[in-house]
Amino acid sequence: MTTDISTYRLNHTMYRIKDSKASLKFYTEVIGMQLLEEHHFAEAGFSVYFLGFNDPALKDIPRMARQGIIELMHTHGTEDKELFAYNTGNGETGGYGHVAITVDRLQAACDRFESLGVQFVKRPEDGPIKSIAFIADPDGYHIEVSENPMLK
């Protein structure tokens, strides 16, 4: 039996989240993703949510055949623990960095994020790299935002 590595794809990355309602609202209403699937495992005490961008060409494509998906994993009850937080890898010790999205117009997207009260980690005008921004989701995971040159 053999396998063809040219068929391998990055399907999804997973974030552990504190509050599923806050995270789902952020990823759907702020970032513009849509909920593709959700699974609840009451006996195990957790739920998972799979989100991807709304591409009409992918409407009938199964989740496991898509790319660029974020899985949110929520352990039930964490939303009620005031001081609870996951290590996002973005603190002093480093580790995990970020995911990145592309937008049609960076400044317009940043203006929209600002109007929605999104936390900025880096605005385009900050630092030497003016072509990117970084925002944070409700758990503090960083999201790089840059312009897609094909949409200009």
DSSP string, 114-143: HHTTPEEEE-TTSSS-TTEEEEE-TT--EE
Backbone angles phi, psi at 138, to 5 degrees: -60, -25
Write out the binding residues for Zn(2+): 71, 98, 144
Write out the binding residues: 71, 98, 144
3-state secondary structure 55-112: CHHHCCCCHHHCCCEEEEEEECCHHHCCCCCCCCCCCCCCCCCEEEEEECCHHHHHHH
Q: What is the pLDDT of residues 68-92, one digit of tens each?
A: 999 999 999 999 999 998 888 887 7
Domains of the chain, earliest start first: 10-80 (3.10.180.10), 98-151 (3.10.180.10)
- Residue 89: per-residue pLDDT: 82
Q: What is the pLDDT of residues 18-40, one digit of tens each?
A: 999 999 999 999 999 999 999 99
- Catalytic positions are 144
The model's pTM is 0.91
